[in-house]
Structure 1
Amino acid sequence: MVKDGIIVDIVDNDLAEKLDAREVIDATGLVVMPGLVDCHTHLCEYATEGVHQVRGKSQKMAAVSNFLDCLKSGVTTIGDHHLGHPVLSTPIHVLKEAARNTVLTIKFATGTCCVGTEPLAYTSSLRPGSILTFDDLDDCHYAKLAAESEFPGENIFITATVANLPSHLVPNGGKRILESEDIFKIVDIFHSLGKKIGAHIEGAENIPLFIDAGGDVIHHGHGAKTEHFDEMAQKNIYLVATPHGGTSNAPNTPEEIYNSLNAGVTTAIATDSYLPVHPEAFGMDKLQIVGPKDFLKICKPTFEYLKQQGMNETECLKMITTNAAKIMGLEAEIGSIKTLKKADIILCKGLPVFDFTDTESIVIVIKDGLIEINKNF
């Protein structure tokens, strides 16, 4: 039962048939589950230029188009990034306003980015449309980023990214660009302002630097070992896995994601949309570029492995619902179908990932109690 966008009660079918409801949705033969949560995307910057080839004011239009693709794919909540872009110059406040005017729940992580070109190219949410230097990123800069950030995404890059570029253009992809002293200082700045902090990291030798500094969320974490997961669990550090790519290292394998969950790490899978598939990604030979419509496809190899290890379907699906919501600080509002939570619900022809990976099998998308997508006309 839904009222004013909130789940107010959950009753059995016999009682439901006797209630005087304004609208009744017949979900016979369908799976009813929470809306999907993608807690790591780049839909407002790199995906607007990469997917739509836009510049200038069209960036905002392209971002909204990407948001609609999410909704059609059953994604009702997004954790997007604003890291600056060498060409695209739309400021964060404009994109936040555009996001507020959609039906989706969208939070933004603001941060700096370092692309592994030669020389290294730095960008920042505070100065979109510009290329910066390392010296531009002082304590005041990080404090302003922390003030703008709405969830712990890729607020900092401990290692340089390959972005969406071919490998020969990013010879410094994976290079460590922040040392322990820098990381401790930046983490302290975020925490002193009451903000959690996330980091883009790859490489077993680099991951402990963020753990030791008391960071909150590791994004990618490619190359992480079992001992890292054990320490992350002890320190309540979360992991956003991208098993299809995102760094120069081979991405998270199903076994590594299992080890993370088994250690007790709150773990989510995210699309990093839009992202080319790494050549060493496990079980994704048929994918090239991953966007919202591919969310279920990138989960399939991992979910199948987890089920083989004895994990049930509900526990697997938490990685793209409950756990992702927790990483974004929204676990009290979304991520599960419970009373007093938002009525963000999808109706599907089967169980996502396990029974299907095509988004057409998500036939109804309900956001805040209203039907926003209905493929059953």
Structure 2
Amino acid sequence: MATYIIKAKKILTVSKKGTINHGAMVVQNGRIINISTWEKINQKYQQVPVIDCGENIICPSLVDCHTHLLEFAPPSQFPITKKTHLLAGKAILLDALYSGITALGEQVCGNPICDLRVSDLKQAVQDVPMDITFAANCLSIGFQRIIHFSAVTGSAPIPRENLVNKEIIKALAVENEYAGENFFINATPANFLKSEVPNAGELIYSQQELADVVAIFHAYDKQIGAYATGEQGIQMALEAGFDVIHHAHGITDNQIEKAAGLNTQVVTTPLGSTYLEPNSLEEILKLVNAQIPVSISTDAYLPPYEKNAVALSNDRKTLMGPEALMAIANPYMTAMLENGYGENDALALITRNPAKVLGKEDQFGSLEVGKDANFLVAEGIPGIDIINPSKIKSVYFQGGKVVSRL
């Protein structure tokens, strides 16, 4: 159907319209052309076909703005070879789609197992019904001898001095599509055991080097993000002018205030992925109270942080992926409700805010006239009422149904 109406018990728009009880949305050629109460829509569009979702709800589809699904996840999930690497990556993308996610922020860091560049990955996923935005990064892993990679130098480790090579930085800026974890201010533990990564958390750059990196990206009119943890690492990111801080584990009250003043966005990762404990409920609320756009992402695939493993019914041996987004967001979204925020504000953590990180908030992340018709039909509000993807009945991408459990 080129044009149709879809109606439900309520629609969460995650926009100024808030929640529309007994709402309806008109979709034409993949975009939303009207959204209001069923009564008003029915009066205006009497000849348009109607999809009635009954007692289910409609809301924006989910956005996971920090993932590693195409480069690092395939060999951790499947017994693949180089020939089948990208095929496995596309299978993982389907899992994300089944989980209600229609937009991803995918990190490309340079991988010793496969020599894939941003252009290779973009070409491979052209036929996947998802919006994928790529970040071109440098990566530092905190082994006994810290090793470094970059998205533009391939599968071989590079010397530390190449991380600040201006030609490499310019190449990263050209390839980069959004402010991902472009530069690792701290060395990462990745998915390795603590004993294997004793230098996780070590600072990689000087303050001047970070300022130079940011200046190059901004000269190309590109936003830039940082992997930053611990008070010192986060402070360096703020002072250097990074647009987005990923993880931000260990952020202080003063740094939250500074980030708010600088309009810095924060992407939190409850599954872990740094040498520090993930952000607490109290820290997330402080970020939200400071009116900082906060996003929750999976950083998938990861083993959950020790304290979260029990809550997620995971033994920490199993890596968790896109299917976990609603579950890891649930405590934070629930805390927002308990502290006076509305359901649309809470849902923004996994819809509108991450769309803003991707630089695509005018395209999706909320249900508004003119935006892509990317939405879910579900038994309840994702991350609040439901955490199991099986409770998502349908997933729509640009107006077309791509997942159906009805």
Secondary structure of the corresponding residue to residue 282 of structure 2: helix
Gap runs ≥5 in structure 2? 1-25
State how far apart, in whole Å, the 2-side matches of 1:94 and 1:24 are: 40
Q: Which residue of 1 aligns with 2:68?
A: 42
Secondary structure of the corresponding residue to residue 154 of structure 1: coil
Do the aligned partners of 2:74 and 2:88 also contact (CA within 8 Å) in 1? yes
Secondary structure of the corresponding residue to residue 10 of structure 1: strand
State how far apart, in whole Å, the 2-side matches of 1:47 and 1:129 are: 15
Secondary structure of the corresponding residue to residue 266 of structure 2: strand
Gap runs ≥5 in structure 1? none
1:38-86 deviation per Cα after TM superposition (whole angstroms, max 9, x unaligned): 0000001111121124231312111111111111100010000110111
Whether 1:81 and 2:107 are equivalent positions in the alignment is yes
Secondary structure of the corresponding residue to residue 206 of structure 1: helix
Whether 1:51 and 2:81 are equivalent positions in the alignment is no
How far did 1:135 drift?
2.0
How far did 1:128 drift?
2.5
How far did 1:246 drift?
1.0
RMSD: 1.4
Secondary structure of the corresponding residue to residue 76 of structure 1: strand
Determine what percentage of the aligned residue pairs are the same residue: 32
Q: Which residue of 2 aligns with 1:201?
A: 228
Instruction: Please give the residue correspondences for 1:259-274 in structure 2 after superposition, counting only pairs within 5 Å.
Output: 259-274=286-301
Secondary structure of the corresponding residue to residue 187 of structure 1: helix
Q: Which residue of 2 aligns with 1:119?
A: 145
Q: Which residue of 1 aligns with 2:366?
A: 336
Q: Which residue of 2 aligns with 1:12?
A: 37
Instruction: Please give the residue correspondences for 1:26-41 in structure 2 after superposition, counting only pairs within 5 Å.
Output: 26-41=52-67
**Matched AA of 1:262:** N
State how far apart, in whole Å, the 2-side matches of 1:229 and 1:55 are: 44
How far did 1:326 drift?
0.6
Do the aligned partners of 2:312 and 2:327 also contact (CA within 8 Å) in 1? no
Q: Which residue of 1 aligns with 2:190?
A: 163
Secondary structure of the corresponding residue to residue 352 of structure 1: coil
Q: Which residue of 2 aligns with 1:275?
A: 302
For residue 284 of structure 2, the aligned residue among 257, 260, 278 is: 257
Aligned residues: 375
How far did 1:222 drift?
0.4
State how far apart, in whole Å, the 1-side matches of 2:119 and 2:88 are: 16
Whether 1:298 and 2:328 are equivalent positions in the alignment is yes
TM-score by length of 1: 0.96
State how far apart, in whole Å, the 2-side matches of 1:270 and 1:284 are: 17
Stretches of 4+ aligned residues off by more than 6 angstroms:
none
How far did 1:352 drift?
1.4
1:64-118 deviation per Cα after TM superposition (whole angstroms, max 9, x unaligned): 1111111110001000011011111122211111222211000000111000001
**Matched AA of 1:25:** I
Instruction: Please give the residue correspondences for 1:63-142 in structure 2 after superposition, counting only pairs within 5 Å.
Output: 63-137=89-163, 138-142=165-169
Whether 1:307 and 2:337 are equivalent positions in the alignment is yes
TM-score by length of 2: 0.90
**Matched AA of 2:34:** D
